[in-house]
Amino acid sequence: MAFALTSLAFKEGDFIPKKHTCEGPDLSPPLRWTNAPKGTKSFALIADDPDAPVGTWVHWVIFNLPGETTELPEG
């Protein structure tokens, strides 16, 4: 199986719920990933918006997550 990144907060192609935007509390959505390549030492995640009115907007970046990490909780 291929590497997959999912969220329980919304489905692929759906709008992100307001609680995870600046129109709500602006909480990071819960994220989960599976099937990382064997030997993965760390992860980096980038949340960007390529359709933002001012061009691509980077909302947040997190890096150096240990390779055994498989999820980030909400918040």
pLDDT of residue 1: 84
pLDDT of residue 61: 96
pTM equals: 0.85
Section 7-14 average pLDDT:
94
Confidence of residue 18 (pLDDT cuts 50, 70, 90): very high
The pair phi, psi for residue 53, each rounded to 5°, is -60, -25
What is the assigned CATH class of domain 4-72? alpha beta
* pLDDT tens track for 21-72: 889 999 999 999 999 999 999 999 999 999 999 999 999 999 999 999 999 9
